[in-house]
Amino acid sequence: MGLVRQVLSGRPRELRPGCLSSLGRQPVERLSVELDGVLGDACADARHHGGPEKALHVYPFEHYTAWHARWPRAGLWRPGAFGENLSTQGVDESSQCIGDVLRIGSTLVQVSQGRMPCWKLNIAFGQPDMAKRVQDSGRMGWYLRVLQSGAIEAGDVIELLARPHPTWSLARVQRCLFQRAHSPADLAELAELPALSPNWRERFARRRNTDEPEADPRRLLTPTELVESPPVVPSPP
């Protein structure tokens, strides 16, 4: 299906005073992958990131070409900038489906959900509406749960072993969630789709039951106290 171009890991760093993030992960030789994530890797916000349903974050390398065409800033568009653990080639949100079981290196993983962009992207990329642009573009990346621990290295092939939900590509699920491009039958199916992460099933169930909007729009908006704060200048190595 595709291959791993780079593997990346990192720990939270301060983007601005009071704003910690693992955006900007760095290339490493290999990832040692356990059921709840990558050994030595960490997330700043354990409530919204990481854990078994978001053990690995995937972002296609090809997406960087589109971002660079929009904002050709040297050094900005490189693998890891979106916080991914796997920079891939040959797969994207249209070609990956919820529940896909994949062999990557010696690991066995499964596609669990798409990414929910948040305001930290605004700070990391110096664009006040970057999170919304990422959401609107569909170039969000996605998460994998780990079914069998192992190791992943650059050059490993992404092999599709099973596709239990071929009609539910990540792109289609994203359109349902963020653009409300769904029917009542779609909502009913997504609310019960077993391979979809519990968090996203709950979102679709709430919408089915109450017509609740996708999410609090504050997720995309930089907190007022951080809008004017200066970026943190990294210390020299």
In the chain, domain spans:
2-181
Alpha-carbon span 5 to 151, nearest angstrom: 15
- Between 3.40.50.2300, 2.40.33.20, 3.30.2310.20, 3.40.50.720, what CATH number should domain 2-181 receive? 2.40.33.20
pLDDT tens digits for range 78-129? 999 999 999 999 999 999 999 999 999 999 999 999 999 999 999 999 999 9
Alpha carbon distance 67, 45 (integer Å) = 25
Question: What is the reported pTM?
Answer: 0.93
User: Are 109 and 152 in contact, with CB atoms under 8 Å apart?
Assistant: no
Statement: residue 228 has pLDDT above 80 = no
Burial class (CB in 10 A: 0-12, 13-18, 19+), 149: middle
pLDDT tens, 154-212?
999 999 999 999 999 999 999 999 999 999 999 999 999 999 999 999 999 999 999 87
% residues pLDDT > 70 (the chain)? 93
